Amino acid sequence: MSNYLDAVIVEHNPSQKKIDRAVIWLHGLGASGHDFEPVVPQLGLADDMAVRFIFPHAPNRPVTVNGGMVMPAWYDILEMSLERKVDIAQIEESSQQIHDLIAREIERGVKPEHIVIAGFSQGGAVAYHVALGYPQRLAGLMALSTYLATNDNIDYSEANKDMPILIEHGTHDPVVPVVLGEKAQELLSAKGYSVVYHTYPMAHQVCMPQIQNIGKWMNKVLA
């Protein structure tokens, strides 16, 4: 039996149906699963949709670029160069923990094609790794203010070649420069993926117009 990551669970289910949709949403470095919990009621999801949001907490580990300070992190960041030198093995380890959460949702009766994988910043790098390599068709991938850290290490899945991908970034992001969002979009588009790319005049954060757009996208891919 897997030791599942601790997670915040929020259910959107106005019609009190059996939950048959899921979103697994990963937070950024030093944050927690509570980070995006308040966003769910602001998404404007359809009333007839029954969605379980899973916001897992990253394990605590030392982070090299922060002087070795121990904090919630999906993986160690070794250098803050533009390309980001990261611990690939830890990304793969975190990805396996997300695979376990997907498997649990499937056991609960949610089909893989009704599961969205989402992530912000560091969580987005893991979300890319999970969704692009997942062997069964998923509902979609959402990558917020993040970068594609493991392009050379992903075993790209044929099952998800037509998976909807939403990439969103702040044009004034001082933490993850917007050029990294553009690079991911260009790389995935060149591979034939259907990518929707939006930018917003903001820093390393989310904003209300963006949250509304995310809600519209989720209503579509989870319909």
Rounded percentage of the chain residues whose pLDDT exceeds 70: 99
| 177 in any annotated domain | yes
Task: Give the range of the structural domain holding residue 19, as residue numbers without chain letter.
Answer: 7-221
Tell me the residue type at 135.
P
pTM of the model: 0.97
How much of the chain is in helix, strand and coil states, percent to nearest 5? 35, 25, 40
| 116 in any annotated domain | yes
Do residues 47 and 3 make contact, with C-beta atoms less than 8 angstroms apart? no
- Return the CATH number at 131: 3.40.50.1820
Tens of pLDDT, residue by residue over 6-22, are 999 999 999 999 999 99
Q: Is the dihedral of CA 182, 184, 185, 187 positive or negative?
A: positive
Tens of pLDDT, residue by residue over 51-62, are 999 999 999 999
| 184 in any annotated domain | yes
pLDDT at 115 over 80: yes
Mean pLDDT score, 118-141: 98
Mean pLDDT score, 44-71: 97
Do residues 8 and 34 make contact, with C-beta atoms less than 8 angstroms apart? yes
| 2 in any annotated domain | no
| 160 in any annotated domain | yes
**Residue 2 banded pLDDT, cuts 50, 70, 90:** low
Catalytic positions, written as ranges: 121, 173, 204
Q: What is the pLDDT of residue 216?
A: 98
| 191 in any annotated domain | yes
Q: How many domains does the chain have?
A: 1
Q: 198 — phi, psi (to 5°)?
A: -125, 145
| 14 in any annotated domain | yes
pLDDT at 1 over 80: no
Q: What angle do CA 46, 48, 51 make, to 5 degrees?
A: 75
Stretch (H or E) spanning 178: helix 178-190
Q: What is the pLDDT of residue 80?
A: 80
pLDDT at 84 over 80: no
Q: Is the dihedral of CA 169, 126, 131, 16 positive or negative?
A: negative
* Coil, strand or helix at 36: coil
- What residue has token string 């998404």? 43
**Residue 82 banded pLDDT, cuts 50, 70, 90:** confident
> CA 81 to CA 79: how far, in whole Å?
6
Mean pLDDT score, 109-126: 98
Question: Any alpha helices (H) in 30-133, and if so which ranges?
Answer: 88-107, 122-133
Mean pLDDT score, 93-99: 98
| 158 in any annotated domain | yes
